[in-house]
Amino acid sequence: MTASNKVVVLVAPTGGMAFKSQNPHLPTQPDEIARDVLDCYNAGASVAAIHARLPDDQATCNADIYRDINERIRAGCDIVINNSTGGGVHGDMIRPMAGGMWDTVWEERLKGMDAGAEMCTLDACTFVGSFGGKEILFNTSPSRCRTLAEEMKRRGIKPEWEVFSPAHIVQDAATLIRMGLDEPPYVFNLVMNAHRGFQNAMPYDPKTLQFMVDLLPRQSVFCVSGIGPSQLQAGINSLLLGGQVIRVGLEDNLYYRHAELARNVELVERTVRILREMDYEIATPEEARRILGLPRGDAPARPAYAGGGPA
């Protein structure tokens, strides 16, 4: 098979929103997250998109917690680690503002880059999220987008451009790419079907996905975060449009099917089965690094992975 038949399976096990009360299988503590990621790696995942949580399960970008998670994962496998700089919608990631709104804490978001991950999310967007009776401002202004991109480049971190609308692609991300703050392949995560909670986000349907894919820069690699019941359909749809990464996990979808709560490894196993029936090959972590452009070509070389995967 050609390289285009290789598909990267990305698992997002936790996220920064849901709680164990919604799905008891949601991993929130370092040992739980690491065990889940190892199970998913053994099932075929080659990238893990990690969110950290405080001991009370609330969201955080605390670098020490991220570092603990990352080290536990690397002790067991060589999966690509992608740490979030978005954080979440509770915990130490938000604080009250005048007038009854809440704000995401910019200084906390920056800590997501300080735990040695190969990749980090770069949320090139500003919006208001509505969760738990709160309106939460997620302010990633043009100067903040530039700070994130510059700091990732300085650290040798590959950005995953997380976008919620066409404007985030053609304005925020495209501006920084033209400035030379990323190099191809450009890695995009198109977040879709989050429009009920995030102002200006796009619903998922095939035509809307096609429109957003058509706006991506040339030499882009992309996946879709299909929120809720659109996860599987959006993921397969993205592959048919030329994507080489398919994303699954409890961050985006808590259910295996209607009324049946999922486990991360079950979502990965189902995806791998479908991909093999479609005659795709599952990319190894080494192949995923080549597809995603790791390590970055425009930054100092990062230390090589020194751990040993499972036999």
Question: In which region does residue 259 sit, left (phi positive, over 0), alpha (psi from -120 to 50) or beta (all else)?
Answer: left
Distance CA 2, CA 223 (A): 19
CB 30 within 8 A of CB 69: yes
**Which one, of 193, 204, 187, lies nearest residue 288 by Cα?**
187
**7 burial level (CB within 10 Å; 0-12, 13-18, 19+):** buried
Which letter, b or e, does each residue of 226-249 get, where b requires 16 or more Cβ atoms within 10 Å of its Cβ?
bbeebbbbbbbbbbebebbbbbbb
Q: Which two tokens stand for residue 285?
A: 């972590």
- Reading the chain (311 residues) residue by residue, the pLDDT tens digits are 334 699 999 999 999 999 999 999 999 999 999 999 999 999 999 999 999 999 999 999 999 999 999 999 999 999 999 999 999 999 999 999 999 999 999 999 999 999 999 999 999 999 999 999 999 999 999 999 999 999 999 999 999 999 999 999 999 999 999 999 999 999 999 999 999 999 999 999 999 999 999 999 999 999 999 999 999 999 999 999 999 999 999 999 999 999 999 999 999 999 999 999 999 999 999 999 999 999 997 755 544 444 433 32
pLDDT at 217: 97
Pick the CATH number of 3-292 from 3.30.70.260, 3.20.20.70, 3.30.300.30, 3.90.209.20: 3.20.20.70
pLDDT at 300: 56
Pairing of strands 119-123, 80-83: parallel
CB 189 within 8 A of CB 159: no
CA distances from 154 to 148, 176, 290 (A): 10, 14, 21
- pLDDT, tens digit, for every residue of 238-293? 999 999 999 999 999 999 999 999 999 999 999 999 999 999 999 999 999 999 99
pLDDT at 199: 95
pLDDT at 297: 78
Residue whose structure tokens are 């950290």: 52
Distance CA 52, CA 49 (A): 10
